[in-house]
């Protein structure tokens, strides 16, 4: 299977290379970078030296890349993938977009939150959160890989929304992400001396992952509601922890709550730690696992669900490979069974 | 002014020494440690070498210490200070307790949450959050220094509760603390290789700072309600960030919200960053400041208030010195004007 | 192939489990722990939950373990392995010791530096640094896995000693290790608030890896000399960087130096970065690679060789699996090809 | 005393502001920044909010600044200060340069290592390492504040060179610096995800602090020799540790070595930890102290001297204020007595 990556020099691109190097069916074909075309990827990422010395191409060659690839991962800022997707719509290559372009059923929602007209609204893209929408992914041509915060948030809350155990209007998600979430681009907020020994929120109102979470949860509930979502920047490289609060509905017993999470039974990548457990980001580091625990507070009548993922793996590149495996009828965990790296 | 510290070898004790060394009116008299009595403090804390070479005493000498001190800071686990306080009730020395023993108006609440009978219920102790209860502190004999999480949480929410702008029953506090909050004692959770590059919640239901926060906020509101509070362990040494959520009442305009925070006008240690600002723990590191910002989300009808403190300073030793200054009629900021250490 | 680990609950034990879980020929049989026998390993290491739920045994069962295992890794403090090795000398199981007991050709050297009589001096153990002593390992019964600092130091300097390009008596090794090197045991030096944002040397004279390095380098040179070695504690979890200095002999040209490192040609785990390169520990994190670079200073007539390894992988568990592969005639890199985890 | 800072927006500038805010005789007059002129410093450094809200000027106003200031700190990249110094040579303001321009007695040495012609060779500047050259500083017009690595290195080795106890040609300095040493400018090497959990050397041959160290040590010895110096990047914000190696001369007994360090007796900022001690950067963090310890290895005949400083304080802004105090006849420790911030 020939695999290409458009935008290979960001952290999600490098993580794709790492994961795919361990995948028995995948062979890297083209890697592109607009800023570093002509260089070897291993010059930008010396940890790959001797093991991924492919020379970087550019997006200008996308038609050729599409002809010679079975699947293309797009790891670019939003706005680019929809143009590429439209351009290569006639090619047989599947496209897995790690950005936001194909995540919304409604182009209007995309346009409202991303301030860009959608150029490929009839793409037929599906939302690639495999544990919830696996059937859709199987036959897709274009897969929208979910956002990192959204993967953690939706998977934590979906079971309770589906089982109608919580007051949806009461949902509050307090989320914390490692600094790879901000990418490899140089920003003061990512400077070691600014981010280290620091912690703060950002985009406290109106973060772009909000409509994505609402789309999934409202879709599940069959009703419209809004959620509160606050992202924070953690002084770690990798990892997201989502602490999700909701008011319990009458009759939401501990047993029914545990039962609701049973929808993940048999899911290799979901580890249900159960009631009373606090998942930790270090326990999933480097792996495609999502660890989920929950807490019921009788005094307040609230449930707190916590989920932990590695934002670069289950929150991006690992989930993308999981989607690729589904698209091509492979065992879903192929290339993704390495245990977390601890400590 | 002769100052003694009972339990000087924990992080709050060492921080008291650091702050007091910069205080023009304070002179260290006795420092105690049960585990290291007879040693110099600077052997346990080489950063103090040459500048605090006092030899550690033991609590057994408390009567002598009380006679020869103007004020005694107690930095011990809960359960000890109330015994000491009772024993030296007849001495003229003031007592500032950094632990939980004297924080509750109701001994029953203390006994319920700390599982210990209170041996000094008629102490007359006051709750030493100066910005809110300064008048009480002035004439106190015993001051209960507030908890670290509670200082950050109460100061963030009190203005809105007081101004009746939020639905008190909707309050949720998602709090994150640096690892000094867990003390210098050896625990697996504080091991560098476990805590570094990690993040998780703990005591997700029933943390002991809950009743302390409720006592203050319910007292302010004049009604009983419960709050949700979830503490998390941040991979930093110092700092607490509290992200506090509440439903806005009808008529709670941005202007009224800003006005409510006006109760802190003129407070040297409170920096109101205003609406839309996200305080960062690094900006208060090493200082007695509390930085506060807030966000209004029209979509959800909620306000999010964030506050940042250094848990060892405004959350412990700095606030204790602030209380000492009030007790002795000094300028409240004496010894506490050093700017944050950044980066 | 049945594999057991004696002392499975330390960091090297957990890393063995992680690596072996990815090894197609290895199957875990017994894991022991004296302090946690009867518990599941995944309770101590939740990152293994669902993937290594073996219940821990004790060393008391060593005879049974030896009968039912093809190979036993011993990850215990020094002094234990030699007793075990002697006890199971009659069994067919191979033994790979990650500790110091079998590292010295001379029991006297062991006894001098480790202050213990050697109980198994006629063990026939070989020193398992595969790139230098592969042939010895092939037929061994007992393999002494080298120390972490020693692996980095010996591999950096051996080529130049062998080629007689440096003044051996001038060798100085300034080494820096991540905190997993100090193990999972609770120590003040490993407390996050002590180790984080800190850096210092320790055991500046007489660290126990000195005789191990000297044994290899003097053995190579065919003459006796002493080296200077200073270890430091880095505020990272994993990684060792050794900065090695030596005076160049007359005629030691850049070409000859590069040629000397050619002894590693074809070695999968050695990445020669060349003259002028500075290896970084993050580039080998989680992998069995050793990256080597060197610098020639004409002004001073010195060469500086730097090597970077992951102390838990090439410095311990990865190298142990590499030795296991050799012992059993497998491809040496089986289970060890996962690329470094970056960032 | 009116104090101005040219180039106030780097880390050393911000640290000067923090230290001077605690200095009873200093009053900030002008702060300049070419990139942020017209803004308040506290917008760039929110930790200063409410406490240094001065609006930034530009260097274009240097003549006015010189007229209205008693002392000007220059915290700019090399090449700028010498132009400013020449321009304001006629003004009465003293100049303390934190850069390299005035550090060399010989303009040729400057030109060789910095690749720039020196425009102010007859400046009469003195090298401001107070513990060694205090008398020179007293009457200076221009003070060259030493480099951070150089302060740590020279102060560690000077006593032994002076006492002729070591073979000067054998000196090797292995130095490690926190990331503030690379400044606040955005560089990939300072990105949290690249620098965190990482460690590597850089400029392994020919770092610009080499000639500065040699100038001091050769000057002391009265003979020419070269030293080896290797800087490394530590994953901490602040701190330098220099591990310095040298061959002992015959007759260099432990007693004579201890005696040699006696030249620092009475020096407030020098803490001699003695033989066998390993200074730690965290013990000096935020302070102007330099901690020094040493080790004698009989096996190798070498001494290892280690010194720890905060690179932003004793390695830059603190030492600059120390120089200012000397220039103006103040107690040398004025404004510099705050104890280290630990942890």
Per-residue pLDDT tens over the stretch D192-216: 999 999 999 999 999 999 999 999 9
With beta carbons under 8 A apart, name residues in chain B contacting A208.
none
Flag whether pLDDT at C54 surpasses 90.
Answer: yes
- What is the reported pLDDT for B277? 98
Pick from C201, C282, C297: which is nearest to D278 by CB? C201
- More confidently predicted of D260 and D50: D260
User: Is domain B149-311 in CATH 3.30.360.10, yes or no?
Assistant: yes
Q: Give the tokens for residue A75.
A: 């790891």
Contact call for residues A335 and A19 (beta carbons, < 8 A)? yes
Which site among B204, B229, B308, B309 would you substitute to test the A interface, given the most A Cβ atoms closer than 10 Å to its Cβ? Answer: B204
Planar angle of CA B88, B89, B92, nearest 5 degrees: 85
Q: For residue A60, what pLDDT band results from cuts at 50, 70 and 90?
A: very high
Q: Who's near B1: CB < 8 A, 6+ residues apart?
A: B25, B26, B27, B70, B71, B328
Catalytic residues of B: 148
A212-252 residue pLDDT tens: 999 999 999 999 999 999 999 999 999 999 999 999 999 99
- The 3-class SS string of B194-227 reads HHCCCCEECCCCCCCCHHHHHHHHHHHHCCCCCC
For this structure, is C148 an active site residue? yes
Q: What pLDDT shows up at residue C71?
A: 98
Given C226, C232, C302, which is nearest D299 (Cβ)? Answer: C226
Give the pLDDT confidence of C79-126 residue by residue, as tens digits.
999 999 999 999 999 999 999 999 999 999 999 999 999 999 999 999
CB B296 within 8 A of CB B254: yes
pLDDT over 90 at B65, yes or no? yes
Interchain contact, B241 vs A230, CB within 8 Å = no
pLDDT given for residue B105 in this prediction: 97
Kindly state the average pLDDT of the residues A295-299: 97
CB D284 within 8 A of CB D291: yes
The string of pLDDT tens digits covering residues D288-305 is 999 999 999 999 999 999
Q: Mean pLDDT of all residues in chain C?
A: 97
Its pTM stands at 0.98
Reduced to 3 states, what is the DSSP secondary structure of residue C53? coil
> pLDDT digit string (tens) for B131-168?
999 999 999 999 999 999 999 999 999 999 999 999 99
The DSSP letter of residue D281 is: G
Nearest-angstrom CA–CA distance, B32 and B44 = 13
pLDDT computed for residue C184 by the predictor: 97
Query: Backbone phi, then psi, for C163, in 5-degree steps?
Result: -85, 5
Identify whether the C-beta of residue D290 lies closer than 8 Å to the C-beta of residue D270.
yes
Q: Residue B53's pLDDT is what?
A: 86
Measure in Å the smallest separation between the Cα of A225 and chain B Cα atoms: 9
Which residues of D does the annotation mark as catalytic?
A: 148
- Sheet of A2-6: strands edge to edge? A27-32, A2-6, A71-74, A94-97, A142-144, A126-127
Q: Name the band, by pLDDT with cuts 50, 70 and 90, for residue D248.
A: very high
Residue with tokens 């150089």: D150
* Strand runs labelled E in C205-267: 228-233, 240-247
| Separation of alpha carbons D81 and D102, rounded Å | 8
Match 């420790």 to its residue by tokens.
D333
Task: Report the share of chain C in percent with pLDDT over 70.
Answer: 100
pLDDT band at C144 (very low <50, low <70, confident <90, very high): very high
Cβ burial of C203 (10 Å; 0-12, 13-18, 19+) is middle
Q: What is the pLDDT of residue A230?
A: 98
* Cα D178 from chain centre: 14
Q: For residues B156 and D49, what is the distance between their CA atoms, to the nearest angstrom?
A: 18
pLDDT digits (tens, 9 = 90+) for B240-283: 999 999 999 999 999 999 999 999 999 999 999 999 999 999 99
pLDDT tier for residue B204 given thresholds of 50, 70 and 90: very high
Phi-psi region of A19 (alpha: psi -120 to 50; beta: other; left: phi over 0): alpha
Residues from chain D contacting residue B17 (CB–CB below 8 Å): 339
Distance, in Å, from the CA atom of D291 to the CA atom of A123, rounded to the nearest integer, reads 66
D200 in contact with chain A, both atoms CB, cutoff 8 A: no
Per-residue pLDDT at B87: 97
Q: What is the mean pLDDT of residues B64-74?
A: 98
Rounded distance between C-alpha atoms, residue A335 and residue C198, angstroms: 38
Q: Are the C-beta atoms of D129 and D216 separated by less than 8 Å?
A: yes
- CB contacts of C237 in chain A (<8 Å) are 343
Token reading at D224 = 């020419």
Nearest to A157 by CA among A275, A292, A266: A292
- Distance set, CA D29 to CA B315, D2, D21, D53, D57 (Å): 34, 6, 12, 12, 10
Which pLDDT does position C247 carry in this prediction?
98
- How large is the average pLDDT for residues D307-318? 98
- CATH number given to D2-124: 3.40.50.720
Domain ranges of chain B: 2-124, 149-311
CA distance C305 to chain D (A): 10
Contact between B340 and B151 (Cβ < 8 Å): no
Tell me the count of A-C CB pairs closer than 8 A: 80
Surface of C (144-163) touching D: CB under 8 A: none
Q: Residue B223: what pLDDT?
A: 97
- Which helix (H) or strand (E) segment holds residue B293: the answer is strand B290-297
Cβ-in-10-Å burial (0-12, 13-18, 19+) of D251 comes to exposed
**Which chain C residues contact residue B235 at CB under 8 A?**
192, 196
Question: D101-114 b/e with 16+ CB inside 10 Å = b?
Answer: bbbbeebebbeebb
Band (C53; pLDDT cuts 50, 70, 90):
confident
**Which of B225, B309, D97 has its CA nearest to residue A301?**
B225
Q: What is the pLDDT of residue A53?
A: 86
Find the mean pLDDT for residues B99-120: 97
pLDDT on residue B253: 98
CB A147 within 8 A of CB A78: no
- The DSSP symbol for C244 reads E
Chain B closest-CA separation from residue C198 CA (Å)? 11
Q: CA dist B119 to B80, B87, C12, D275, Å?
A: 10, 10, 49, 50
pLDDT at A27: 97
pLDDT digits (tens, 9 = 90+) for C226-268: 999 999 999 999 999 999 999 999 999 999 999 999 999 999 9
Q: What is the ipTM, given to two decimal places?
A: 0.97
**Cβ C277 vs Cβ C145: under 8 Å:** no
Structure tokens at D34: 């070419």
Going from the C-alpha of D77 to that of each of A278, D74, D321, the distances in angstroms are 48, 9, 19
Q: Find the mean pLDDT for residues C316-321.
A: 98
Q: Tell whether C266 is within 8 A of chain B (Cβ).
A: no
Determine the angle formed by the axes of helices D148-162 and D210-221, rounding to 10 degrees.
20
Mean pLDDT of A138-144: 97
Report the distance separating Cα D201 and Cα C250, nearest Å.
26
Assign C271 to helix, strand or coil.
Answer: strand
Tokens at A18, concatenated: 């790492």
Q: Do A192 and D192 touch (CB under 8 A)?
A: yes
Mean pLDDT of D14-25: 96
Residue D274 has pLDDT above 90, yes or no: yes
In this predicted structure, what is the pLDDT of residue D53?
Answer: 86
Contact D300 C226 (CB under 8 A): yes
Residues 6+ apart with CB under 8 A from A131: A155, A264, A267, A269, A270
Hey, what are D292's tokens?
């020094």
Confidence tier at A48 by pLDDT (50, 70, 90): very high
């Amino acid at each position: 299977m020939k695999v290409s990556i458009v935008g290979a020099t960001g952290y999600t691109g490098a993580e794709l290379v790492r994961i795919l190097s361990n995948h028995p069916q995948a062979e890297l074909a083209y890697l592109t970078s607009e800023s570093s075309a002509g260089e070897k990827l291993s010059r930008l990422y010396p940890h790959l030296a001797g093991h991924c010395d492919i020379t970087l191409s550019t997006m200008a060659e996308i038609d050729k890349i599409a002809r010679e690839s079975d699947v293309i991962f797009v790891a670019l800022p939003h706005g680019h993938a929809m143009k590429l997707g439209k351009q290569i719509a006639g090619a047989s290559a599947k496209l897995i977009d790690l950005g936001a372009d194909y995540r919304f059923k409604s182009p209007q929602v995309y346009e409202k939150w991303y301030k860009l007209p959608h150029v490929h609204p009839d793409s037929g893209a599906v939302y690639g959160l495999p544990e919830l929408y696996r059937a859709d992914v199987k036959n897709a041509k274009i897969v929208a890989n979910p956002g990192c915060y959204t993967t953690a948030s939706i998977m934590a809350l979906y079971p309770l929304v589906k089982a109608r155990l919580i007051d949806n209007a009461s949902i509050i998600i307090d989320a914390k992400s490692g600094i790879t979430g901000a990418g490899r681009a140089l920003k003061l907020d990512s400077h070691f001396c600014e981010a280290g020994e620091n912690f703060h929120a950002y985009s406290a109102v109106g973060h772009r992952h909000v409509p994505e979470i609402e789309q999934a949860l409202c879709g599940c509930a069959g009703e419209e509601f809004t959620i509160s979502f606050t992202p924070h920047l953690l002084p770690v490289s990798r990892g997201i922890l989502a602490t999700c609060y909701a008011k319990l509905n009458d009759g939401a017993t501990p047993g029914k709550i545990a039962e609701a999470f049973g929808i993940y039974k048999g899911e290799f990548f979901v580890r249900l730690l159960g009631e009373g457990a606090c998942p930790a980001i270090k326990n999933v580091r480097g792996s495609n696992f999502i660890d989920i625990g929950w807490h019921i507070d009788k005094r307040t009548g609230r449930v707190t669900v916590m989920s932990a993922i590695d934002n670069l793996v289950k929150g991006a590149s690992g989930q993308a490979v999981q989607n690729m495996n589904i698209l091509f009828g492979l065992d879903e965990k192929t290339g993704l069974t390495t245990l977390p790296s601890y400590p």
